[in-house]
Amino acid sequence: MSAARRDRTAGRSRHPALADDAVRRRLGKRYARERRFRWYCRIAVGLAVLFLAVLFADVVGKGWSAFLAAEVRLEVHFDPEVLGAAGSAPGALAFADLDAMWREPLLERFPVAADDRAVRRALFSLVSDGARYRLQEMLAEDPSLVGERRTLWLLADAEVDQRLKGRGADAEAVAAGEGRLSPRQLAWIEELREAGDLRLAFNHRFFTRGDSREPELAGILGAAVGSAYTLLITLAICFPLGVATAVYLEEFAPQNRWTDLIEVNINNLAAVPSIVFGLLGLAVFLNFFGLPRSAPLVGGLVLSLMTLPTIIIAARVALRTVPPSIREAAYGLGATPLQVIQHHVLPLSLPGILTGTILGMARALGETAPLLMIGMVAFIVDVPSTPFDSATALPVQIFLWADSPERAFVEKTSGAILVLLAFLIAMNASAVWLRRRTERRW
């Protein structure tokens, strides 16, 4: 033992109180650092939750009104003279003057000069252009309506809808020339509301119709069906290929330079930006193979390329969690390698595999950049009936509505975001539930 160390040891032995005080000071500083670190972590978590709450509150505050729509009550006369031959021939309804049937009761309610076209146009603009389509659908479903009178709630214009929701310009701004509604139109709206002929009702069209240039007619059904087709194709390609690849790499592949290269490439592909896969899909699936542009088939192929590495990595991790004793016991009973994988390893690792698959599909549901590159950004009104039809997806629909200049599309954008978040939360919650339900403790 050196002389300096002997001196320190002798000093501690001669002064035990000083040594205890030094230890307590060091312990006090350590505990203080730990307390500060815990508080830093709590503050970081609190800030993250606060930012998330502010973001979610902003989206909900702007989007909840998308699930409501303004409607005007009018007594419509299905006049045979107005319908003409369309009363008995549903195919000719498109050429009938259906607008006249709801304009007449509106003129009776608010008499204006017949020769003042500007005032008449302002009055008719209170009702949406979708009113004629509602009457056309009713006549197509029930031709016996010809000659009858019905009290109907018809869809109001988007500006009336925004006014009724308290998001339009106030009276002073309207008087100063701001806003799209005139003082006369505001007076008509107030009279209708006071009489109970103007209301906010559940906007079922938001869930049952496709996109439209008119905000009050726009819906998410076309985008939702397009996303469903895209995810089905992605799942049909990714799940079997991803699981088979993981099983081969984890159970059968020899450890050599080639398998190491494959593993490195799979890990690198999982970190590649999604727009790169969109460029690949544009070059290969559209330009080389000539597949239909803006189709869920191509979208599913592109998203499968992006999701496949994630599923492979998750499946390999799940396979590694199976204890080696399970394999050794199966081999000891005479099982073949395929039987070991099929009857023991895969069933025990299936919860982890399904969890990784669901999380990968949730990521694919929220992707936008790859779909933009393959043309799914097109304006599609009709709901796709097959994966080969032109369609869009929910994230792309949100992108399109966010770029629209109409004020009413703001709430449509936020409402679509709420629907997309609901799907993502449901998929992530199902992954957590499935994990806890089927997880085994070793």
Report the 10 Å Cβ neighbour count for 158. 23
C-alpha 89/C-alpha 278 separation (Å) is 48
What is the residue extent of each domain of the chain? 3-63, 65-209, 221-438
Residue pLDDT, tens place only, 253-298? 888 888 888 888 888 888 888 889 999 998 999 988 988 888 999 9
What is the distance in angstroms between the CA of the first residue and the CA of the last residue of the chain? 50
Confidence of residue 2 (pLDDT cuts 50, 70, 90): low
Q: And the tokens for 303?
A: 């998203």
Residue pLDDT, tens place only, 233-261? 999 999 999 999 999 999 888 888 888 88
SS3 assignment, position 79: coil
| 114-134 mean pLDDT | 85
C-alpha 186/C-alpha 180 separation (Å) is 10
Flag the least confident range among 8-17, 272-281, 337-346: 8-17
Q: Could you give phi then psi for residue 368, rounded to 5 degrees?
A: -125, -45
Q: Is the pLDDT of residue 175 over 80?
A: no
Residue pLDDT, tens place only, 27-62? 888 888 999 999 999 999 999 999 999 988 998 888
Residues near 224 by beta carbon (within 8 Å), at least 6 away in sequence: 394, 419
Return the closest-CA partner of residue 315 out of 363, 274, 266. 266
| 318-345 mean pLDDT | 89
Question: Taking the alpha carbons of 340, 345, 350, 351 in that order, is the dihedral positive or negative?
Answer: positive
Q: Is the pLDDT of residue 169 over 60?
A: no
pLDDT value, residue 24: 82
**What b-and-e string marks burial along 199-230, b requiring 16 or more CB atoms within 10 Å of the CB?**
beeebebbeebbbbeebbbbbbbbbbbbbbbb
Q: Could you give phi then psi for residue 68, rounded to 5 degrees?
A: -125, 150
Could you give the percent of the chain with pLDDT greater than 70?
89
Residues near 296 by beta carbon (within 8 Å), at least 6 away in sequence: 226, 229, 230, 233, 384, 387, 389, 391, 393
Do the beta carbons of residue 295 and residue 390 sit within 8 Å? yes
Task: State the DSSP H helix or E strand holding residue 201, giving kind and residue range, or none if neither.
Answer: strand 198-202
C-alpha 306/C-alpha 26 separation (Å) is 52
Return the closest-CA partner of residue 243 out of 333, 316, 325. 316
Under CATH, what is the fold of the domain 221-438?
Answer: MetI-like fold (1.10.3720)
Tell me the CA distances in angstroms from 264 to 125, 182, 258, 307, one per residue in order. Answer: 62, 65, 10, 16
Return the closest-CA partner of residue 64 out of 425, 395, 410. 410
Order of strands across the sheet that contains 198-202: 149-155, 68-77, 198-202
**Model's pTM, two decimal places?**
0.84
CA 124 to chain centre: 35
